[in-house]
Amino acid sequence: MSTKTKKRKELTPDEVRQELIKKYPPKVARKRAKQIQVNTGEEASTPEILSNVRTIPGIITMRGCSYAGCKGVVLGPTRDIVNITHGPIGCGFYSWLTRRNQTQPPTEEHENFLPYCFSTDMNENDIVFGGMNKLRQAIREAYDLFKPRAIAVFSTCPVGLIGDDVHAVAREMKETLNKEDPNHFVNVFAFSCEGYKGVSQSAGHHIANNQIFTHVIGHNDEPKEGKYKINVLGEYNIGGDAFVIEDLFERCGLTLVSTFSGNSSIYDFERAHTADLNTIMCHRSINYVAEMMEKKFGIPWFKVNFIGAVETAKSLRKIAQYFGDKELIERVEKVIAEEMPAVEAALAEIKPRTAGKTAMLFVGGSRAHHYQDLFKEMGMKTLAAGYEFAHRDDYEGRRVIPSIQVDADSRNIEELDVHKDDARYKESYEARKKALEAEGCEFSDYKGMMPEMEKDTLSIDDLNQFEADKLIELYKPDIFCAGIKEKFSIQKCGVPMKQLHSYDSGGPYAGFKGAINFYKEIDRLVNSKVWSFVKAPWSTNPELQATYNWE
């Protein structure tokens, strides 16, 4: 199989769709056809896209597993939890520092376990006779060495099969250790995030949300000092994004109670329920926590987006509107006014070189959507986009949730039965939410990616290597965005590739400063000289006649 990028005659989106699936065996083609849709450019006629379904065996998928979603994505960025991977060594090893989550402990005294990898390194004996004793001992050794606030256990595939009860071990060790030293509270909890659960990382997100909600959130009722208290959910501080957002909040006068989970601390998670508002960045990975917190504590949530200058300003204004305080509204406007000149200057500089270029984005559960805003600001068109592990609501909007059929793979992931916490439920938020809704402020909603994409562009779920190569061949976009596994096959074709999971070595890309970084990065990529060197000078002029011209 090889990919060349000879431009063919212009194909219609439907013809492209046919091209993508025509080589597949019939069964594969039928399924993939439902995962590839042509956008209509309007919400009402957005087509239904098949998503959050199994990847067909043998298809070279971009997806990872439930463990990666749970340990890698959601819990990985938190600096002060000792995260023990219970399993053979690989899973812990591969998720060790590879996602570029940055963290900044306030002082040298504060814990930071991010550079460490903890594992029970199960061997054959543990698989045959069970690994619970080893896990118990590993928790004991972690506790004795580090005396952390929390120890979390992450199950890998064989753990579920051999029937190790990780939750029982966690409960037991929590009790034992806290009895031993009642003055030092240690939280111990476990995640049944075996890699085979669900169909992608998404199952792991849900499992992570459930356990954090059950074991951590609400542990400490002492509120953080300050006005306008909010949480940011689904921001993982890759390349320093969370630092930019924290800086913006501080200048606006907002109090950030906790971020799930970029640059985060378990102490902040414990009092996340004392916030007045939940804002969601990555809808897919964390909407469960927001929903559960609203049910239990009455905290409203809405979607924000700090990717792109326009969206950042919009999100800040919406937060200010929520609190409705004149002082805050003015401060937010002031910050936006301070930031925008640099953004506009940067755009004026790069736009002549980026306008009219084309992009494709296949990444994550929100970035394929959010980063389209940045490309739009640069005058670039998104030809095709899709998610790795999203559900229909991320594509089509939350309005379709009632019509989503829950299949066996999703049913296996627990839905927590959450009840109102009468003592801590804040009734006052309900009234405020209603009043604001009457003004047109939307809560608990996400419109999805597809309605915002232009007519005749493509939305493709769980894109695989074959289809990626075909897209490159048929469209030759000016830039392609996905993950590390996809990066170099794309670049071998002479098309620059930007990683949007880990940002390559770049970032931050959030907020106004991040937008400027991204403009410059894309300008660098699409205008790099290197792509002009792909063909050797003699390849276009194969004649062998020589004229010696020594001068």
Known catalytic membership, residue 99? yes
The total number of residues written for the chain in this structure = 551
Distance in angstroms (rounded) separating the CA atoms of residues 469 and 488: 11
Is 166 in contact with 190 (CB distance < 8 Å)?
Answer: yes
Stretch (H or E) spanning 260? strand 255-261
Peptide bond into 182 cis (omega under 30): no
Written as six digits, the tokens of 273 are: 């329920």
Piece of 65-73, 230-238, 377-385, 421-429 that binds other proteins (CB under 8 A) = 65-73
* CA 75/CA 88 separation, integer angstroms: 19
Cβ proximity of 511 and 479 under 8 Å = no
Minimum distance from residue 116 beta carbon to other proteins (Å) = 6
SS (H, E, C) 274-292: HCCEEEECCHHHHHHHHHH
Examine the residue annotation and report whether 283 is marked as an active-site residue of this protein.
no
12 binds other proteins (CB under 8 A): no
By the rule CB under 8 A, 154 interacts with other proteins: no
Q: Which is nearer to other proteins, 157 or 252 (CB)?
A: 157
Does 441 engage in binding with other proteins (CB under 8 A)? no
Would you count residue 76 as binding other proteins (CB under 8 A)? no
Among 58, 182, 440, 537, interactor with other proteins by CB under 8 A: 58
193 is catalytic: no
CA distance 9 to 15: 11
Instruction: List, in order, residues 6 or more apart from 479 with CB less than 8 Å away.
Output: 357, 358, 359, 360, 380, 495, 496, 497, 498, 522, 525, 526
* Nearest-approach distance from CB 1 to other proteins, in angstroms: 5
Strands (E) across 49-178 are located at: 81-86, 118-119, 150-155
State which of positions 188-217 bind other proteins (CB under 8 A). Answer: 194-200
121 binds other proteins (CB under 8 A): yes
Assess 63 for contact with other proteins (CB under 8 A).
yes
- With binding defined as CB under 8 A, does residue 483 bind other proteins? yes
Binding window for other proteins (CB under 8 A); candidates: 58-66, 209-217, 268-276, 308-316: 58-66
4 binds other proteins (CB under 8 A): yes
Total chain residues near other proteins (CB under 8 A): 98
Interacting residues with other proteins between 352 and 391 (CB under 8 A): none
The single residue of 63, 86, 205, 392 carrying the catalytic annotation is: 205
- Of residues 390 through 409, those in contact with other proteins by CB under 8 A are 408-409
- Tell me: does residue 493 bind other proteins (CB under 8 A): yes
Given the complex with other proteins, which of 47 and 90 has the nearer CB atom?
90
Q: Can 205 be counted among the known catalytic residues?
A: yes
Indicate which single residue of 35, 37, 52, 120 sits in contact with other proteins (rule: CB under 8 A): 120
Tokens coding 487? 């990066």
DSSP 111-152: ---TT--EE----HHHHHH-SHHHHHHHHHHHHHHH--SEEE
* Cβ distance to other proteins smaller for residue 31 or 229: 31
Question: Which single residue is written with the structure tokens 């326009």?
Answer: 310
Which residues lie closer than 8 Å to 421 by C-beta, 6 or more apart? Answer: 218, 296, 297
Positions 442 through 481 that interact with other proteins (CB under 8 A): 465-466, 469, 472
Piece of 139-147, 222-230, 350-358, 540-548 that binds other proteins (CB under 8 A): 139-147
Which residues are part of the catalytic machinery?
Answer: 65, 68, 99, 205
